[in-house]
Amino acid sequence: MNLSMIKNLLAVLLLTVSTLGWAKLTATVDRTVIDNNETLQLVIRYDGQVMSAQPDFSPLEKDFEVLSNNRQQQYSWANGRSESYTDWTMVLMPKRTGLVLIPSLNFKKDVSNAVEIRVRSASSVTAGAGKQPIYTETLVDKDNVYIQQQLVLTHRLYTSVQLTDLSLSDLNVPDVIMQKIGDSQFQKIINGRNYLIIEIKYALFPQVAGKLTIPALRFGAYESNGRSQFGGFTNRGTRIFRSTERKTVDVMVRPAHIAADQWMPSSEVQLAEQWSTDLSNLTVGEPVTRAIAISAAGLTGAQITPIPMIESDDYKIYPDQPQLQEQAKGSTILGTRTETLAIVPSRAGEITFPEIKVRWWDTVNQRMQTASLAAKTAQVRPGTAIANNSAGIQQSSIQPLNIDTQEVNDKEVEPTLLIKLSLVLNALLIATVAMLLLKRPKTGLAARASADPSTPALLSLKQKFKAIQIQANKNNLMGMRDAILDWGRQLFAETPPTTLKDLSLLLADMELQQQFMQLDRQLYKGDASNDQLDIRLLLERLKQQSSFSRKSTAKRGQELQSLYPE
């Protein structure tokens, strides 16, 4: 199994972590928390084509009113794989508040999973606003968050009239990394009036402590009157605007006892791993691939800290570029960092790969937690060359070989025609390979990074540099120092620096080394001399290093040890 297949397999496992593997009948909903009189969408999927029959939906009628039920069949064939399924899409309205269960349904001896729904009572604000035909609602899931912790912002537009050409102004919040979670539509009855609700959600990650102000946005649309004018052309109707509510949230600083490289504010962190082969059957000098994925709820892939690399004389580690990704999972962002390592055993016998630990801040219980992978023990057999040498020694001790020295010397002096032809062909082959290598403009990781500037690693580097700029604009030297180290750990993932001095040595930049020394002097020694820190120059040098990070990657790749030990 090659490296690409390992990465794809691990991605599929992470995407399906909350679903039942290989299930033939599954149930999914668009939301699990709703207000009373709101609707939700339930999709029952069967892995196969169904022409006429359908599951028994009568158990739903106990706690839900089924407003609609549509069946859709899908069959596709792509890349040699076929996919066939039947969906029943239903719109449900709950009959009561509290915890309501969508029960398991039966169909052709298969049973679907049950889904729990929390139905809330409608708030007084919503009930009062229900007197208006069109209005907005703005929600934040927390009144205060830690720095870099996820904050979910929800904008809703309620309308009881038909609207067309709906638009929403762009969200722009300084000192915040933003990502759109998604948008949806549902219906709700308020004060006896039926409303269509358009909901848009964002995930915000504040980068500076203090008061965070979320500005008001503006919905724009046309109120359709349905009348035709000018010989069949439909009038777009009256233009309407509605503004959202401005919100203010307190952003708290990171707890003082937590190091910057351990700061991962998340509601849940999980580790998963995949090996390319059985650990009981390794061979000295032959690499084995280990893919480790860290998934964190409420963080982007770029916010997840790297896995600490543990060196050993028993094996060598060759890390690949980490793969970063995120996806919307309900009302949160699920970030994933996948690190792929090539591990080459250096000796035969039993080898232990130590336990891997990742420290993170639990935003639910407000304390530090540890996610870990247990230690692994591998059995390593000698390499092929070593085994052959051992066999030769044993054979010579039992029965010495009789070699005619004169015959060997004759063969060395007068090589056969076949050997001469082989030497000529090998020389031509080596010359051809050398010419191809000279003509090839770029190779390896550097070529991939420069050919595709939007790779996850480079995107992450840009986000790290933006965090440095944010702290610099606030003149927050301590925050800027933490952000620079975070940027350096992303740039040198295989040898992450712990101090600014370590980073300057890795960058081999004398100008940056001087600026780093001045930054530390001003922070820790209160240096008030004339030689002050030039923040503008520091940012320019770091920006240049970010732009040429692919060169650093190529240089680091050249410094790797030999893949096969002698």
d(C-alpha 351, C-alpha 338), whole Å: 24
Token couple for 413: 């002096």
Q: Which two tokens stand for residue 510?
A: 């004398």
The reply to whether 456 falls in a domain is: no
Q: What angle do CA 312, 315, 320 make, to 5 degrees?
A: 100
Q: Which residue has the tokens 């069967």?
A: 46
In a domain, 428, yes or no: no
State how far the alpha carbon of 374 is from the alpha carbons of 6, 144, 282, 355, 361, in Å. Answer: 20, 35, 19, 5, 20
Residues 220 and 316 in one domain: no
Task: In whole angstroms, give the CA distance from residue 146 to residue 361.
Answer: 10
Identify whether residues 204 and 233 lie together within a single domain. yes
Question: CA-CA distance, 290 to 310, in Å (whole number)?
Answer: 14
Q: Is residue 355 part of a domain?
A: yes
* 159 and 109 both lie in a single domain: no
Whole-angstrom CA distances from 176 to 125, 151, 172, 466 are 29, 10, 9, 10
Other beta carbons within 10 Å of 177: 18
Give the model's confidence band at 523: pLDDT under 50 very low, under 70 low, under 90 confident, else very high.
confident
The 8-class DSSP code of residue 559 comes to T
CATH number at residue 89: 2.60.40
Q: Are residues 47 and 73 in the same domain?
A: yes
Question: Tell me, what amino acid is at 210?
Answer: G
Q: Which residue has the tokens 């025609």?
A: 417
Considering the domain architecture, whether residues 271 and 374 belong to the same structural domain is answered as yes
Question: Which tens digits make up the pLDDT trace of 94-140?
Answer: 988 999 999 999 988 889 999 999 998 765 455 446 678 889 999 99
- Mark whether 295 and 375 lie in a shared domain: yes
Burial class (CB in 10 A: 0-12, 13-18, 19+), 87: middle
Confidence at residue 37, expressed as pLDDT on a 0 to 100 scale:
65
The three-state (H, E, C) secondary structure of 345-376, written as one string = ECCCEEEEECCEEEEEEECCCCEEEEEEECCE
Residue 12 — very low, low, confident or very high, per pLDDT cuts 50/70/90? very low
Do residues 434 and 504 lie in contact, with contact meaning Cβ atoms separated by under 8 Å? no
Considering the domain architecture, whether residues 243 and 279 belong to the same structural domain is answered as no
Residues 265 and 248 in one domain: no
Q: What is the pLDDT of residues 439-480, one digit of tens each?
A: 554 433 333 333 344 445 555 778 888 889 888 888 888 888
Percent of the chain at pLDDT exceeding 70: 73
In a domain, 411, yes or no: no
In a domain, 372, yes or no: yes
More confident residue, 4 or 87: 87
* Domain housing 498: 462-558
State CA 530 to chain mean position distance.
45
Question: Residue 485 forms beta bridges with which residues?
Answer: none
Distance between CA 394 and CA 387 in Å, rounded? Answer: 11
Verify that 59 and 169 share a domain, yes or no. Answer: no
- Comparison of pLDDT for 285 and 432, the residue scoring more: 285
Domain boundary among 98, 120, 142: 120
215 and 140 in one domain? yes
Q: For residue 143, is it within any domain? A: yes
- Domain check: are 195 and 297 in the same one? no
In whole angstroms, what is the distance from residue 315 CA to residue 349 CA?
A: 12
The CA-atom distances, in angstroms, between 261 and each of 9, 273, 369, 506, 545 are 29, 22, 14, 18, 21
- Of 228, 252, 276, the domain-final residue: 252
User: Which pLDDT score, from 0 to 100, does residue 471 have?
Assistant: 85
Residue 503 pLDDT: 87
Identify whether 526 is part of a domain. yes
Tokens linked to 25: 């009948």
Least confident segment among 1-10, 44-53, 57-66, 119-128:
1-10
Count of structural domains, the chain: 4
- For residue 441, being part of any structural domain is answered with no
Q: What is the mean pLDDT of residues 418-437?
A: 63
Taking only Cα atoms into account, the Rg of the chain, rounded to an integer number of angstroms, comes to 31
The C-alpha angle with vertex 185 and arms to 180 and 186, in degrees rounded to 5, equals 140
Whole-prediction pTM:
0.57
Instruction: Give residue-wise pLDDT tens across range 320-333.
Output: 889 999 998 888 99
Start-end of H helices in 130-239:
none
* Domain end residue (candidates: 347, 381, 415): 381
- Same domain? 116 vs 128: no
